[in-house]
Structure 1
């Protein structure tokens, strides 16, 4: 047995085997998996827009009026010939939406998070990141030459204690956090983070991947809900979740924007997205403030489902991301399989995505789910765990 076969054997024995799955979504919160129609409880399409037939029809009509967008390959990076004019139009739209000086589009959230901090920091700097930041942020920080310290999750006393000791020893200090954390659905205290960044003259980097579109009066995310949009130095927004598209963007000042164009390797050395993808992204961004009803419906589902899960004895954080932490990998796998047999598509989340001993199911609510069916989901979870 060679080393790779041994690796696979270890993965399998630990109950950590992962596979790719073919899934077809529809517009009612359901999908088809293994030739069976199931309620989709694993999607990050929080507003249910990605499969909305009315939106598709409206975009196709717009596309017929703009045939220049009908290209399926860009042919090069943005710095060569891949920067179709729709890129510039999309970034102008983002600047207007956020009221910012700069906006820069990346191919994905992973490209943004692995490219920005390495481009902006150097060996004289310090990066302080929440311990539960997403893997893409962790990977980006690992590429940096700056000193790196992870503070305890949402523990701002710990964060400030580090700042008190370390701030004067470094040129720039970056404070890095998600706004809504992807595994538990809990939230950062953005007001406190803004207070600390101003007190210690730091640069605040907030990833709004799971909040943009789904939260805020116009969909700007948690930063809009708490009124700190203009006080965050770098905001990362992901198009692949509530924004129903592909790609990601950074909202920042004009100076940082220009530095990234010249130094961010994940922008410079990758092929640009096709014009048709960018056109759909701009279409969604333009319409996002209009989706108030979807955000309102999502909030209703959040209240209903969180109450149900708490009544079963599980801890939740009042989000559309709802963890049911069962502990053991094999229990999480078995519970997910049980729910799939009952017509509810949900997958187990296991280490290294989450800490060892905290394997779970992660329910992701979307605005197009019928609230009545959530009773059935919870009943099946309760039956299995009893």
Structure 2
């Protein structure tokens, strides 16, 4: 490493420290239900994406491990190959067929992560004659996927569909294909895309609509299929992307689509072609939790009711609280206050980490409360009381 590069890195890290944005990798301890062992102390965990509490279902896990031990003796722990070589275990086919059936789509594909999905699908489909229009607050993986592609990339103002329509009108007839890309539930603001309006614009301008349901699956819809299901618009979305790594408490991601798009992605999507396949044990667990969450209707109702109650209480305390979902961001403004409030919460047994730029825009640092279905009324009241004290 040259001295100029070393000095540049040190200067940037020093600046991050001055701005209260220097990050470190925290040690992660034992988890039990809604509780987490953090820095040697048992804390209420409001920084997890285990929205339904499946990750803490030891009975479900123990039963699955017994099934694995009683299996055929094949290696369940590793795949050692890409799917296009010898890594395409039959559990892939079964899981993808089940996903397609649940959504009523022709095809499903499973990926190693949501990041793989979003940095692979758009570059495979969108070329130099195409246009990608992305919500400004879409996840970094969507932005990276759009930038990797050869397509022209533009962002419309967050949830501003009049602005999106202006961009679509200006692009009419200039591109082979226009792609509209959005999250359903936005992970940092907790708000929800107007899917009906997006579908209307997609149809008007003959665009393809790509919907990332990472924080919507498990938490919305009768069967936990996301906002597309709760809106009754599954059939109107061209590609729906979901993750196993949040409410489903597994790892990996998936997308559902028509048969032509699936075949094309298998042949052109680099993160699928050049990635070692997931271990069979992961695929089997994903299939199991997928079926489990489909039946968790009461947990979904409890989760959204808890979020509505807490948002109302914190707003009454004087906070600006964003969103309308199980993600409850409480605005702090500057980084220093967000860090201080988070530290006070930890001292009082609540793990809710501060979210700071560049993850969110400057001046909008926040405490992001990720709620779970297994939180008690007492847990929620404790959090509301602690934060209410900070508002004084």
Q: Structure 2: how far apart are the matches of 1:299 and 1:143?
A: 36
Stretch deviating more after TM superposition (181-190 or 15-24): 15-24
- Hey, what does 1:75 align to over in structure 2? 80
With the length of structure 1 as denominator, give the TM-score of the two structures. 0.97
CA deviation after TM superposition for structure 1 residue 129, in Å: 0.6
Q: Which moved more, 1:75-84 or 1:347-356?
A: 75-84
Q: Which residue of 2 aligns with 1:220?
A: 225
> Does the 8 A contact of 1:63 with 1:70 survive in 2?
no
C-alpha deviations, 1:85-116, integer Å up to 9, x for none? 11111101111111110101110000000000
The answer on whether the counterparts of 1:328 and 1:357 sit within 8 Å (CA) in structure 2 is: yes
Q: 1:337 — aligned with what? A: 343
What is the CA distance between 1:382 and its match in structure 2? 2.4
Q: Distance in 2 between matches of 1:23 and 1:16?
A: 20
Greater mean alpha carbon deviation, residues 57-66 or residues 259-268: 57-66
Q: Partner of 2:271: helix, strand, or coil?
A: helix
Does the residue aligned with 1:23 lie in a helix, a strand or coil?
Answer: coil
1:306 to 289, 306, 311: 311
Q: Does 1:143 align with 2:148?
A: yes
Contact 2:68/2:76 (CA < 8 Å) preserved in 1?
Answer: no
What is the match of residue 157 of structure 1? 162
Deviation of the 1:51 alpha carbon: 1.5
Residue 352 of structure 2 corresponds to residue 346 of structure 1: yes
Looking at structure 1, the residues matched to 100 and 206 of structure 2 have their Cα atoms a distance apart, in angstroms, of 24
Q: Are the equivalent residues in 1 in contact too, given 2:317–2:391 (CA < 8 A)? A: no
The reply on whether 1:362 has 2:368 as its aligned counterpart is: yes
Q: CA deviation at 1:57?
A: 2.4
Question: Match of 2:124?
Answer: 119
Q: TM-score, normalised by structure 2?
A: 0.96
How far apart, in 2, do the equivalents of 1:216 and 1:5 lie? 48
Structure 1 distance, partners of 2:131, 2:223, is 34
d(CA) in 2 for partners of 1:356 and 1:68? 54
Residue 377, structure 1, aligned to residue 369, structure 2: no
Local SS of the residue matching 2:159: coil
Please state how far the C-alpha of 1:4 moved relative to its aligned partner: 1.6
| Residue 54 (structure 1) aligned to one of 50, 56, 59 | 59
Counterpart Cα distance in 1 of 2:304 and 2:75? 36
Over aligned residues, Cα RMSD in angstroms? 1.3
CA distance, structure 2, for counterparts of residue 101 and residue 62 of structure 1: 30
Deviation at 1:69, TM superposition (A): 6.4
Q: Is the 8 A contact 1:152 1:158 kept in 2?
A: yes
Q: Does structure 1 conserve the Cα–Cα contact (< 8 Å) formed by 2:322 and 2:331?
A: no
Is 1:257 paired with 2:256? no
Q: Deviations over 1:247-275 (max 9, x none)?
A: 00011111110111111111111111111
Could you tell me how far apart the structure 1 residues matched to 2:170 and 2:33 are? Answer: 53
Number of the residue aligned with 1:320: 326
Between 82-91 and 295-304, the greater mean CA deviation after superposition: 295-304
Structure 2: runs of 5 or more not aligned: 1-5
Equivalent position SS for 2:374: coil
SS in 1 for 2:185: coil
Offset from partner CA, 1:137-178 (integer Å, 9 cap, x none): 001101011111100111111111111111211100000000
Residue 289 (str. 1) matches residue 291 (str. 2): no
1:67 & 1:290 partners in 2: Cα distance? Answer: 29
